[in-house]
Amino acid sequence: MSKLRVLVGVKRTLDYMLKPRINPAKTGVDLAGQKMSINPFCDIAVEEAIRIKETQKDRVEDTLVVTAGPSASEQILRQSLAKGIQRASLIDVGNKELEPLSVAKLLKATVEKEKSNLVILGKQAIDDDAHQTGGMLAAMLGWPQFTSASKVAFEGDKVVVTREIDGGAETLSSPLPAVITTDLRLNVPRFANLAKVMKARKAPLGKLTPEDLGVPIENRLQTLSVEEPVSKRQSIMVKNVDEFVKTLKELKAL
Ligand code: AMP
């Protein structure tokens, strides 16, 4: 059976518990002073890679977590190491915004450098909701992609993935290499214990730039505006039918 070299791509996003606020220029979400965390779908991807390492044991040669982002993204890499991922690598892009195509190119170069044969990504990043990186990466590598995975298993040299589809589930298999993108119900990510968190603080991280990987960062899209969702209509409590009719007339709805 071929050895598994698993690469997990993770993104640092606004913490999912926070309500996003639009920045004054209306070009995106205001991140100043906000809590940033690992994208929830990426946390599920990390958990799945650790479970594969635990269940497939000697078959797993490597688990590597990679992020492209500012240096502050180190935090989500260390968190993944504390949970059980073996190695971590930061592709430092400073404060440059990355479009999914650039991320996919950076991940492709990393997959080739690391000789990975299984890539696990989130199905979407909750900040851009792009849903693009996994598909672009699989296409550029020429690999099959399992989208919206809710179960991952292995049968000999094949990976077997159950996917969530409308009103049911579909199970597919393919030989490696492959890309898997995770859905919410794939697993429940673990918490790392304090001792492991402390140890991961000092763990070595690989650091690269897009230039090291030979990938120029080119953005093609320009954000024209970002709007808040339309606020819910105000409710008015009425005591009886007469008051209801009167209110409708006042609002010119009758
Ligand atoms: P998206 O296509 O932006 O919705 O992101 C889908 C998935 O691609 C995420 O859940 C991550 O697994 C991966 N990804 C997106 N951006 C990055 C990044 N900057 N670094 C590493 N992986 C990323």
> Distance between CA atoms of 149 and 187, rounded to whole angstroms?
10
Span 159-212, pLDDT tens digits: 999 998 988 999 999 999 999 999 999 999 999 999 999 999 999 999 999 999
Long-range contacts from 93-96, C-beta under 8 angstroms, 24+ separation:
93/68, 93/69, 93/209, 93/210, 93/217, 94/70, 95/70, 96/217
Lowest mean pLDDT among 116-125, 191-200, 230-239: 230-239
Whose Cα sits closest to atom 15 in ligand 1? 11
> Distance between CA atoms of 197 and 213, rounded to whole angstroms?
29
Indicate if ligand 1 lies below 6 Å from the C-beta of 121: yes
Note the pLDDT of residue 244.
93
Question: How remote is the CA of residue 196 from the centroid of ligand 1, in Å?
Answer: 25
Indicate if ligand 1 lies below 6 Å from the C-beta of 8: no
Whose Cα sits closest to atom 19 in ligand 1? 68
| Overall average pLDDT of the 131-144 stretch | 98
Question: How remote is the CA of residue 143 from the centroid of ligand 1, in Å?
Answer: 17
Angle at 127 between CA 20 and CA 66, to 5 degrees: 135
Q: What CATH class does 4-250 carry?
A: alpha beta
Every domain of the chain and the residues it spans: 4-250
Question: How remote is the CA of residue 195 from the centroid of ligand 1, in Å?
Answer: 29
> Distance between CA atoms of 236 and 246, rounded to whole angstroms?
12
Using a 10 angstrom Cβ sphere, with 0-12 exposed, 13-18 middle and 19 or more buried, the burial of residue 51 is middle
Note the pLDDT of residue 18.
94
Whose Cα sits closest to atom 9 in ligand 1? 122
Strand partners, 208: 91
Span 42-100, pLDDT tens digits: 999 999 999 999 999 999 999 999 999 999 999 999 999 999 999 999 999 999 999 99
Question: How remote is the CA of residue 67 from the centroid of ligand 1, in Å?
Answer: 8
In this structure, are residues 21 and 164 in contact, taking their beta carbons and an 8 Å threshold?
Answer: no
Task: Please report how the helices 100-114 and 133-141 are oriented relative to each other, as an axis angle in degrees rounded to 10.
Answer: 50
First to last CA, the chain: 74
Question: How remote is the CA of residue 184 from the centroid of ligand 1, in Å?
Answer: 15
| Overall average pLDDT of the 16-25 stretch | 90
